[in-house]
Amino acid sequence: MHLLWAIPALPLAGFLILFLTEGRLPKPVVSSIGAGSVGLAALLTGYIGWQFVSSDTTEFVSSSWTWMIVGDLDVSFRLWLDELSLVMVGVITGVGFLIHWYATGYMSDEEGYSRFFCYMNLFVFAMLMLVMGDNLLLLFLGWEGVGLCSYLLIGFFHKIPEFGYAARKAFVVTRVGDTFLIIALFLLFHQVSSLNIQDGLLFARENMSEGSTINTIICLLLLGGAVGKSAQVPLQTWLPDAMAGPTPVSALIHAATMVTAGVYLIARMQDFFLLSPTAMLCVAVVGLVTLLIASFTALVQSDIKRVLAYSTMSQIGYMFFALGVGAWSAGLFHLMTHAFFKALLFLASGSVILAMHHEQNMFKMGGLWKKLPVPFIGMLVGSAALVALPLTSGFFSKDAILLKAWKNDSDFSTLFWTVAVIAAFLTSLYTVRMMALTFFGKPQSEMHELKKESLWHPSRIRTVVPFALLAVLSIAGGWLGFEFTGRLFDDKGVHAELHFDPIALLTLGIPFAGVVVGYFLFASDLLDRRILIKNRMSELVSKFWGSGWGFDKAYDTMIVNPFRFIAQTRLNRNDVVDLFFKLIKFLASLFHHILSMFQTGHIRWYAFTMLGGLLLVLLTVVWI
């Protein structure tokens, strides 16, 4: 008997306690429940993970009660832990705990402290259900649960209508994806007569032929779900707006865990995808397109969190791309390293934002490296990993992806590889730009008066420790990854070998090239940046890129506005169907009025008509 069930149960308990006490607990208690439950779960994960790695079994299973049995449908609350889940659970609880810890300081001045941790714990629980469920319905429970928490946390500052809008947008857009996912579930059930993941995979391996249409449809539907949750083209528009949430939320949900659920889903359903080259190609293309679009967009953003959001999108694009070209292990590896360094980047940016009076515009920062050394170092390390400087974790994972893409024997491998490399170059470019605008150059505006006693102060222990741990993971996480990911899939994992062929050197050199070019463009005074800005052409391009390539606008014009128009103008508020019944009513009252005109109240008139009627009746009788 192992304690597998306790991993999700701990955050759930935290959620329940915080929910039922309605925010009446003092802040320290809330912090210890909120962060502590996730911390305990992380410790437990470590323990179980160690047990798992050292045992021979391929999976740990923990059954509890039956959810429902109807006809063929038989689903239970049954947890399943294998290598893939373990990586995910490790990331969720580990990184999750660090972010929770950081948030105890970050959120200390905000209203609704308890509510925040309540939602956060619920999120961790839902995310754990997503990755640990042994059937697709349980996965869907987690899937929707994280969507809900994402909604609640984006709209956490519920007094601001724009944030509410962003939250709803996130929920509805991902729900479009979820619809694909649930239809995929229906179809799978139709085919397999079971929603159990392992049953499904077995079925795929044994009963489906390569390239079968039904399998491709299932895969594409699954991809639709993944695209929604992971903010890939074409359902990516919600992620930048989701930055309305508090920064720890962005770090946990919109960078490290929830948005990678799509990657997890595809990896989990690997056997289906392996049988469908078309679907694999789609995954790769979706990843690449997102990668490019997001990178270009990140290049012209002025909001530091939006830069990171687009960066997240592009990095997940990398993961999709990896899955699409068959680099399963590399994709998952990148998921893990990305969770480390992106969480670090977000947390660091959060500290900067707090220090700047909630100012997120990078053009109003500048020269902060002296004043905010801790966030600066954190940001620096995170950026290094993001641009994949050698020996950081990001380097290993990205390198593995690019290498695999090059070796992939598809018709498009060269093209794919080229695009991916260009995107890597762009990544360094926007990262350098972000660093340059934020930390270097001249200060553009006043900073918050930093009080030593405020809990969120960047040098407080609850800020520094998560930074330090995440920084260590961002650098050393690469080495950790080999151990984990080696056992994930049949593709022999990722190897820590250095290649010295031209391709490898190129991938090695691209980040440096990007950094150097970026330095000249954004940091040094050698180049007059105004040339870039004044140019009319570049203005147009930057406007286009800045708006996220016009997706928002297109959706607004095509879907949102027409729907609003027919719904909110008074066109049909009173329900056209009712007109029919109103017509009946109208006719009835019309006849009523006509008939009541005969009722004059003159008795003699009545008598007269009665006699007249009598006459009519008689005449009828006589002549007919």
**Binding to other proteins in span 504-563, by CB under 8 A:** 563
Here the tokens at position 162 are 């724009």
Query: What DSSP assignment string belongs to 134-182?
Result: SBHHHHHHHHHHHHHHHHHHHT-STTSHHHHHHHHHHHHHHHHHHHHHH
Q: Does position 140 bind other proteins by CB under 8 A?
A: yes
* 190 versus 553: smaller Cβ distance to other proteins: 190
Q: Which of residues 427-486 bind other proteins (CB under 8 A)?
A: none
* 143 versus 341: smaller Cβ distance to other proteins: 143
Q: How far apart are CA 178 and CA 170, in angstroms?
A: 12
Which of 57, 535, 547, 596 lies at the binding interface for other proteins (CB under 8 A)? 596
- 403: which residues sit within 8 A by CB, 6+ positions away? 330, 499, 503, 504, 507
Q: Please report the beta strands in 409-514, taking only residues with DSSP state E, as ranges in sequence order.
A: none
* 68 versus 531: smaller Cβ distance to other proteins: 68
The conformation of residue 448, written as its DSSP 8-state character, comes to P
Q: Does position 63 bind other proteins by CB under 8 A?
A: no
Q: Does position 43 bind other proteins by CB under 8 A?
A: no
CB of 392 to other proteins, least distance (A): 38
Dihedral (CA of 361, 367, 368, 369) sign? positive
* 418 versus 572: smaller Cβ distance to other proteins: 572
CB of 572 to other proteins, least distance (A): 6
- 520: which residues sit within 8 A by CB, 6+ positions away? 526, 527
Longest dimension (CA), the chain: 120
What's the full length of the chain, in residues? 624
Residue type, 101: W
* 133 versus 477: smaller Cβ distance to other proteins: 133
* 22 versus 539: smaller Cβ distance to other proteins: 22
- Binding segment toward other proteins, per CB under 8 A, in 86-94, 353-361, 509-517, 602-610: 602-610
Q: Does position 624 bind other proteins by CB under 8 A?
A: no
- Binding segment toward other proteins, per CB under 8 A, in 81-89, 157-165, 237-245, 253-261: 157-165
Q: What are phi and psi of 582, to 5 degrees?
A: -65, -35
Phi-psi region of 415 (alpha: psi -120 to 50; beta: other; left: phi over 0): alpha
Which of 3, 6, 43, 183 lies at the binding interface for other proteins (CB under 8 A)? 183
Which of 83, 144, 241, 359 lies at the binding interface for other proteins (CB under 8 A)? 144
Q: Which of residues 572-591 bind other proteins (CB under 8 A)?
A: 572-573, 575, 577-578, 580-581
CB of 213 to other proteins, least distance (A): 14
CB of 214 to other proteins, least distance (A): 12
Closest CA to 440 of 367, 489, 542: 367
Q: Please report which residue ranges of 55-112 form alpha helices under DSSP H.
A: 83-106
User: What mask, x for binding other proteins by CB under 8 A, covers residues 239 to 278?
Assistant: ----------------------------------------
Q: Using CB atoms within 10 A of its CB, is residue 616 exposed (0-12), middle (13-18) or buried (19+)?
A: exposed
* 236 versus 427: smaller Cβ distance to other proteins: 236
Q: Which of residues 65-104 bind other proteins (CB under 8 A)?
A: 65-71, 73, 77
Q: How far apart are CA 584 and CA 577, in angstroms?
A: 12
Which of 166, 182, 252, 515 lies at the binding interface for other proteins (CB under 8 A)? 182
Q: Does position 148 bind other proteins by CB under 8 A?
A: yes
* 502 versus 601: smaller Cβ distance to other proteins: 601
- Binding segment toward other proteins, per CB under 8 A, in 59-67, 351-359, 385-393, 442-450: 59-67
Q: Which of residues 188-227 bind other proteins (CB under 8 A)?
A: 189-190
Which of 566, 583, 587, 590 lies at the binding interface for other proteins (CB under 8 A)? 566
What are the CB-based long-range contacts (under 8 Å, 24+) for 234-237? 234/551, 235/173, 235/174, 235/176, 235/177, 236/290, 236/293, 236/294, 236/313, 236/548, 236/551, 237/169, 237/173, 237/548, 237/551, 237/552, 237/555
Q: How far apart are CA 309 and CA 61, in angstroms?
A: 36
Which of 89, 137, 274, 293 lies at the binding interface for other proteins (CB under 8 A)? 137
* Cis, peptide link before residue 234, omega less than 30° from 0: yes
- Binding segment toward other proteins, per CB under 8 A, in 144-152, 204-212, 242-250, 390-398: 144-152
Size of residue set near other proteins by CB under 8 A: 74
User: How far from the centroid of its chain's Cα atoms is residue 429's Cα?
Assistant: 24
User: What mask, x for binding other proteins by CB under 8 A, covers residues 3 to 32?
Assistant: ----------------x--xx---------
Q: Does position 488 bind other proteins by CB under 8 A?
A: no
User: How far from the centroid of its chain's Cα atoms is residue 205's Cα?
Assistant: 30
CB of 495 to other proteins, least distance (A): 40
* 112 versus 441: smaller Cβ distance to other proteins: 112
* 536 versus 570: smaller Cβ distance to other proteins: 570
User: How far from the centroid of its chain's Cα atoms is residue 269's Cα?
Assistant: 19
* 22 versus 491: smaller Cβ distance to other proteins: 22
Q: Does position 607 bind other proteins by CB under 8 A?
A: yes
Here the tokens at position 452 are 């030593």
CB of 197 to other proteins, least distance (A): 16
Q: How far apart are CA 384 and CA 432, in angstroms?
A: 10
* 182 versus 385: smaller Cβ distance to other proteins: 182
Q: Which of residues 322-381 bind other proteins (CB under 8 A)?
A: none
CB of 623 to other proteins, least distance (A): 10
* 125 versus 320: smaller Cβ distance to other proteins: 125
Count of CA atoms in the C-beta half-sphere (13 A) of 193: 3
Q: Does position 608 bind other proteins by CB under 8 A?
A: yes
Q: How far apart are CA 169 and CA 372, in angstroms?
A: 34
Q: Please report which residue ranges of 247-302 form alpha helices under DSSP H.
A: 247-251, 261-268, 270-274, 277-299
Which of 145, 225, 245, 493 lies at the binding interface for other proteins (CB under 8 A)? 145
